[in-house]
Amino acid sequence: MPPPLPPESGEAAAGDEGVLVAECLRLLAALPSAAAASPAFRRHWPSISASLASLSASLSHPAFPPQAPLLAPLASALSALVSVAGNHGSIGHLHTVSLLSSSAAELSQLAADAQLVVSPGGSGGGEGEGADGLIPRLRLGSAASRAAALDSLVDSVGSLPASSAAAAVSAVAAMLDSGEILPASREKAVYVLAAAQAAAAGVLRNLASFPDLLPSFREEGALPSLLQLVSLGTPRAQELALGCLQNLTSGDGDECQQLKVEAFQGGALGCVKDFLESCVGDEPGLAPAFGLLRNMASFRYIAEIAVSASFVDHVLAALDSDKAATRTEAAMALAELCNVGSKNRRDVGDAIPRLIWMLEAKAVTERDAAARALAALVAASGYRKLFKKEERGIVNVVQLLDPGAARGVDARFPVSVLLAVSQSRRCRKQMVAAGACGFLQGLLAAEVDGAKKLADCLGRGKMLGVFPRS
């Protein structure tokens, strides 16, 4: 039977931690010979020996701090193993196996913690350590030390890279699960878990833009988690989760169509509505919410439900946003919501002046979105009358036919708008005066849908060249 721990080791646990390092190293060296005399050690020895080797390397490392909090539990665990090896004949085989199993797991965790201590950015850093250096301290310190590390992490968690954010989530979650956390630190721990959520959602949003990864999102069951984050996450995490869902449902392939259906079945419309109703102004960004609404509303059945649920009111309000991205996505959503049956349509006449104003925006995407929405609106005769009353309506739409000034705008939509009001002689005169005939020549060569019909309507069978090209 090996000798018991010398008295000074117990005193070291309470005072001089430097002695604990030496004591742990002594026990690590003594354990192999003690284990050789115990048949019960044979099954667990491979995992135990790997942990011992890792611990020896870490404790001997120059960067290992002599005050590391893990030394006391390590000395206790090693001493218990030595005791089991010496008493295996008197405590029963099953009991011995149980003790070895639990000790092996504890040693493995301690070995991993010790590696964290000596790794770059570990807990031996000083006051200038980065956020990554705080993460090991969340796992290894006393309750007071962990609380101090958590205080420091709260200030920097928003700037953590994705990999470090994942490590922070793991460490803070372990703190909460262990119960070894001061009451005052619980709220901070929950806060850290929530900014880390945003980092993870941001990574997923970027990954969702790759079509070949869409099957993985479905196979891993990502939709329920993302929808839960939209409901319960921080405002930034909600915005990024919505962005991820928008990317997942933005294509036309079978995988995207299935994701749209699954998102709808999972309650995405309700999540979007709750998000929009909970937001104050345009903070956080609302664009992803309208982008997801637009994608799902490409199914007419979903669009009709959205209209019945008063989504149109949110869309109309968003057209007045001071953020171009929000106005753009809202206009695109409005274009889809207008494609519902006449029984379910809502009055959106107030949108027409705003959309005409958006036709003058600097961003091509915003002008294109406004043209799409107007094309959907003027398909109804009542909205054509409202459009014709707007002084800048015809002029702004015609400018979108100019290949130089409106590069990137899908010409089919401004052509569709002009065709819708071309029965009016006054509107035809406005189109000609704004230079529509000259622009149409290029569209005819490109065989743009509707261009020939509009040209015939303006030309009355005559050559386009007789009209002025102002």
Q: Is there a single domain that holds both residue 94 and residue 215?
A: no
Q: Does 181 fall in a domain?
A: no
CB atoms under 10 Å from CB of 83, counted, come to 17
3-state SS assignment for residue 87? coil
Q: Is the pLDDT of residue 386 over 70?
A: yes
- SS3 of 258, please? helix
DSSP state of 68: -
Compute CA distances 272 → 251, 267, 293, 314, 330, whole Å: 19, 9, 7, 11, 13
Count of domains for the chain: 3
Instruction: Report how far residue 179's alpha carbon sits from residue 194's, in angstroms, rounded to the nearest whole number.
Output: 19
Mark which of 347, 374, 408 sits at the end of a domain. 347
Highest mean pLDDT among 64-73, 153-162, 297-306: 297-306
Q: Is residue 452 part of a domain?
A: yes
Q: What is the pLDDT of residue 467?
A: 46
- Structural domain harbouring 11: 1-116
Of residues 251 and 299, the one with the higher pLDDT is 299
Q: How much is the average pLDDT of 144-169?
A: 70
Q: Is the pLDDT of residue 315 over 50?
A: yes
Say yes or no: 108 and 1 in one domain. yes
How many DSSP H helices and E strands does the chain contain? 26, 0
How many other CB atoms are found less than 10 A from the CB of residue 401? 26
Percent of the chain predicted with pLDDT > 70:
79
Closest by alpha carbon to 432, among 395, 405, 461, 406? 395
In a domain, 12, yes or no: yes
- Can you give the CATH number for the domain in which 294 is found? 1.25.10.10
Confirm whether 251 is domain-assigned. Answer: yes
Q: Helix, strand, coil: what percent of the chain each, to 5?
A: 70, 0, 30
Are residues 233 and 338 part of one domain?
yes
* Separation of alpha carbons 319 and 368, rounded Å: 14
- Over residues 137-164, mean pLDDT: 69
User: How many angstroms separate the CA atoms of 229 and 240, rounded?
Assistant: 9
In a domain, 202, yes or no: no
Least reliable range by pLDDT among 13-17, 131-135, 388-392, 452-456: 13-17
Query: Cα–Cα distance between 311 and 290 in angstroms, integer?
Result: 10
SS3 state at 427: helix
Tokens coding 20? 């604990």
Tell me whether residue 186 is in a domain: no
- Quickly state the pLDDT bin for 33 (edges 50, 70, 90): confident
> Regarding predicted confidence, which is higher, 131 or 459?
459
Torsion angle (degrees, nearest 10) of CA 183, 186, 187, 191: 160
Same domain (yes/no): 382, 298: no
- Report the pLDDT value the prediction gives residue 93, as an integer from 0 to 100: 63
| Banded model confidence at residue 327, pLDDT cuts 50, 70, 90 | very high
Q: Provide DSSP, 260-308.
A: HHHHHHTTHHHHHHHHHHH-BTTBS--HHHHHHHHHHTTSHHHHHHHHH
Q: Is residue 203 a contact partner of residue 171, using CB atoms and an 8 Å limit?
A: no
Amino acid 466: pLDDT:
43
The overall average pLDDT reported for the chain is 80
**Are 372 and 459 within one domain?**
yes
Are the beta carbons of 276 and 333 closer than 8 angstroms?
no
Residues 315 and 390 in one domain: no
224 and 335 inside one domain: yes
Query: Does 247 have pLDDT greater than 70?
Result: yes
Above 50 in pLDDT, residue 256? yes
- Is residue 376 domain-shared with residue 434, that is, in the same domain? yes
Last residue in a domain, options 56, 87, 116? 116
Residue 65 has pLDDT above 90, yes or no: no
125 has pLDDT over 50: no
Single out the residue in 329, 347, 365 at which a domain terminates: 347
Do 390 and 447 belong to one domain?
A: yes
Q: Are 332 and 296 in contact (CB under 8 A)?
A: no
**Domain co-membership, 394 together with 436:** yes
More confident residue, 381 or 460: 381
Q: Is the pLDDT of residue 278 over 80?
A: yes
How many CA atoms within 13 Å lie on the side-chain side of 83?
Answer: 11
Model confidence over 180-201: pLDDT tens digits?
677 777 777 877 777 777 777 8
Q: Are residues 355 and 343 located together in one domain of the fold?
A: no
pLDDT at position 343: 57
- Kindly indicate the confidence band of residue 7, based on its pLDDT and cuts at 50, 70 and 90: very low
Adjacent-strand bridge partners of 280: 283
Contacts of 73 (CB under 8 A, 6+ apart): 106, 110
Q: Are residues 259 and 322 in the same domain?
A: yes
- What's the burial of 309, exposed, middle or buried (CB within 10 Å: 0-12/13-18/19+)? middle
Distance CA 147, CA 144 (A): 5
Task: Say if 159 falls within a structural domain.
Answer: no
- Find, among 456, 445, 382, the residue nearest to 419 by Cα: 456
Tokens (6 digits) for 199: 């980092």
What is the structure's pLDDT at 211? 85
For 382, the token pair is: 């009542």
> Do 304 and 258 form a contact (C-beta atoms < 8 A)?
no
Kindly state the average pLDDT of the residues 17-21: 76
Q: What angle do CA 94, 98, 100 make, to 5 degrees?
A: 115
- Domain assignment present for residue 145? The answer is no
Instruction: State the residue for tokens 């995490």.
Output: 237
Query: Counting Cβ atoms within 10 Å, is residue 145 exposed (0-12), middle (13-18) or buried (19+)?
Result: middle
With CA atoms as reference, report the closest residue to 275 among 243, 305, 316: 243
